[in-house]
Amino acid sequence: MIPLLFLSSALAQDAQYTQLEAGELAPFAGYLFNETATAELIVEKQFSMSECDLRVDFEVNRISAEYDLQLSLSEIRATAEQEKLNYLLQQNEEQLDNYIELATKRPNTQLWFAGGMAVGIATSVTIFYAATEISK
């Protein structure tokens, strides 16, 4: 962890490196890492990059799954609403057909009224005629 802190401040400078053998003097001031420490730094960087890629992939997949879920729910709601509207439309059409059928099957009341008036007048005239003939 400590080498990473120093590494962040060292990134602001130009990188210098040289390979030293045991007992040799360093040509510049700085930190000396053996091959294991250097490998750890490289692996840590690769691990961090891999971990970052995995996190990004995870978040992208999570958001994509949430989007797909919301899209599916919206499609289901839209389908349900469409089916509901189709059902209501069908019911309204059936009710309208029933009303039309009732209106066309109803007897013609004006014709019945006219017929009743004619029969009533004819009956009244006949009774009047019969009454006047009987009284003579």
pLDDT tens digits, residue range 77-98?
999 999 999 999 999 999 999 9
Within a domain: 58 = no
Confidence band of 103 (pLDDT split at 50, 70, 90): confident
The pair of structure tokens assigned to 6 is: 């120093």
Within a domain: 112 = yes
In 3D space, the residue among 54, 15, 51 whose CA is nearest the CA of residue 33 turns out to be: 15
24 SS3 class: coil
Residue 31 · residue 3 · CB < 8 Å: yes
Least confident of 9-13, 28-32, 76-80: 9-13
pTM over the 0.85 mark: no
Within a domain: 76 = no
Within a domain: 77 = no
Q: Which residue has the higher pLDDT, 132 or 32?
A: 132
Q: Which residue has the higher pLDDT, 47 or 102?
A: 47
Residue 3 · residue 41 · CB < 8 Å: yes
* Containing structural domain, residue 119: 107-136
Please state the domain count of the chain. Answer: 1
Q: Which residue has the tokens 């490196």?
A: 17
Within a domain: 124 = yes
- Cα distances from 98 to residues 13, 90, 104, 133, in angstroms, run 90, 12, 10, 55
Within a domain: 88 = no
Cα separation, 27 vs 25, whole angstroms: 6
Within a domain: 117 = yes
Confidence band of 34 (pLDDT split at 50, 70, 90): confident
Within a domain: 11 = no
